Chains A and B, each alone.
Chain A
Amino acid sequence: MRGFLDSLLSLAVAIAVGAVVAYISGYNPLLVYYSMFVVPFTDVVYVTSALATATPIILTGLTFALGLKAGLFNIGAEGQTYMGALGAVIASYLAASALALPLSFVIGISLAVAWAMVPALLKAYRGVNEVVSTIMMNWIAYWLVIMEASTTFSNPMQPSETIKMPPSARLTPLVPGTSLTAGFFVAVAAALLVYWLLERSVIGYELTAAGLNPVAARIAGIPQSRVVIYSFLLGGVTSGVAGVLQVAAMPPSYSLATNLANVYGLGLDGITAAMLGRGNPLGTLLAALFLGLMEEGARHMQALAMTPFEFVKVLQGIMILVIAVRMLELWRRR
Chain B
Amino acid sequence: MNAKVLGIIVAVVVVIIAVSAIYLAQRGAASPQTSAQVSPTGSASTSSTSRGTIYVIYDIGGRGDLSFNDMAYLGASRAAKDFGLQLVELQSKTQDDYLPNLRLAAKSNPTLVVAVGFLMTDAVKEAAKEYPNVHFAIIDGYVPNMSNVLSIQFRENEGSALVGALAALTAYYFNCTKVGIVLGMDIPVLWKFEIGYAYGVRWAQRYIAEHFGKNVTFTIYYVYTGSFNDPAKGKQAAQAMLAQGVCVIYQAAGATGLGVFDAVAEAGQAAGRTMGPPFAIGVDADQDYIKPGFILASMMKRVDVAVYRAAQMAASGNFSGGVLSLGLKEGGVAVSTLDDLNQFLQLGIQAGTVKASDAQQIVQEVQQMRQSIPQWIWQAVDQLRQGIVSGEVQVPLPTTREQLLQYRQQLGLVGSG
Contacts and interface: CB of A to CB of B under 8 A. Distances in A.
Given A24-B21, A252-B123, A303-B104, A261 B89 contact: no
Interface residues of B, number: 54
A262 B95 contact: yes
A215 interface: no
Which of A16, A24, A52, A179 has the largest count of B CB atoms less than 10 A from its CB?
A: A24
Nearest to A264: B94
A296 B9 contact: no
B91 A322 contact: no
A182 interface: no
Contacts of B5: 325-326, 329
B254 A159 contact: yes
Contacts of B185: 156, 159
A123 interface: no
Contact of A302 (B60, B91, B99, B125): B91
A44 B323 CA distance: 33
B95 A302 contact: no
A322 B4 CA distance: 14
Given A49-B103, A306-B88, 11 more contacts: A20-B17, A25-B24, A31-B46, A43-B107, A157-B187, A259-B60, A259-B229, A262-B94, A302-B91, A321-B12, A321-B16
Nearest to A255: B95
Given A302-B90, A303-B90, A17 B17 contact: yes
A140 B60 CA distance: 24
A257 interface: yes
Given A24-B21, A322-B9, A306 B42 contact: yes
Contacts of B9: 13, 322, 325
B130 interface: yes
Interface in B10-66: 12-13, 16-17, 20-21, 24, 28, 35, 38-39, 41-42, 45-46, 55, 60, 62
Which of A150, A252, A261, A322 has the largest count of B CB atoms less than 10 A from its CB?
A: A252
B130 A177 contact: yes
B126 interface: yes
A325 B4 CA distance: 11
B119 A160 contact: yes
Chain B interface mostly: helix
7 residue pairs, one from A and one from B, having the closest CB atoms: A309-B91, A261-B94, A252-B122, A306-B42, A262-B94, A159-B228, A49-B100
B45 A306 contact: yes
Interface in A281-334: 296, 299-300, 302-306, 309, 314, 318, 321-322, 325-326, 328-329, 333
- Name the interface size band of chain A: 35 or more
B209 interface: no
B96 interface: yes
Interface of A: 13, 16-17, 20-21, 24-28, 31, 43, 45-46, 49, 52-53, 150, 154, 156-161, 176-177, 179, 246, 250-253, 257-259, 261-262, 264, 296, 299-300, 302-306, 309, 314, 318, 321-322, 325-326, 328-329, 333
A26 B228 contact: no
B101 interface: yes
Interface in B121-137: 122-123, 125-126, 130
B93 A261 contact: yes
A17 B95 contact: no
B8 interface: yes
A241 B97 CA distance: 21
Given A27-B42, A258-B229, A325 B12 contact: yes
A13 B12 CA distance: 10
Contacts of A150: 227, 229-230
A14 to B, nearest CB: 9
B257 interface: no
A305 B89 CA distance: 11
A154 B228 CA distance: 11
B75 interface: no
A13 B89 contact: no
Contacts of B123: 252-253
B200 interface: no
Contacts of A24: 20-21, 24
B254 A305 contact: no
Contacts of B42: 27-28, 31, 305-306
A304 B94 contact: no
A302 B294 CA distance: 39
A161 B126 CA distance: 18
Interface of B: 1, 4-5, 8-9, 12-13, 16-17, 20-21, 24, 28, 35, 38-39, 41-42, 45-46, 55, 60, 62, 88-91, 93-97, 99-101, 103-105, 107-108, 119, 122-123, 125-126, 130, 184-185, 187, 227-230, 254
Contacts of A246: 96
A264 B60 CA distance: 13
A325 to B, nearest CB: 5
Given A43-B107, A250-B96, A261-B60, A158 B119 contact: yes
A257 B95 contact: yes
Nearest to B99: A252
Nearest to A20: B17
A262 B97 CA distance: 9
B229 A17 contact: no
Contact of B13 (A17, A52, A179): A17
Contacts of B187: 156-157
A84 B338 CA distance: 48
18 contacts: A21-B16, A21-B20, A24-B20, A31-B46, A158-B119, A179-B100, A251-B126, A253-B95, A259-B60, A302-B88, A302-B89, A302-B91, A309-B91, A314-B20, A321-B16, A322-B9, A326-B5, A333-B1
A319 to B, nearest CB: 11
A257 B227 contact: no
Contacts of A300: 104
B94 A257 contact: yes
B78 to A, nearest CB: 19
Contacts of B93: 261, 309
A108 to B, nearest CB: 18
A306 B100 contact: no
Nearest to B8: A325
B16 A318 contact: yes
Contacts of A25: 20, 24, 35
Contacts of A303: 55, 88, 90, 104-105, 108
A159 B62 contact: no
A27 B97 CA distance: 23
Which of A261, A305, A328 has the largest count of B CB atoms less than 10 A from its CB?
A: A261
Nearest to A178: B103
Nearest to A324: B12
Contact of A179 (B12, B94, B99): B99
Contacts of B21: 24
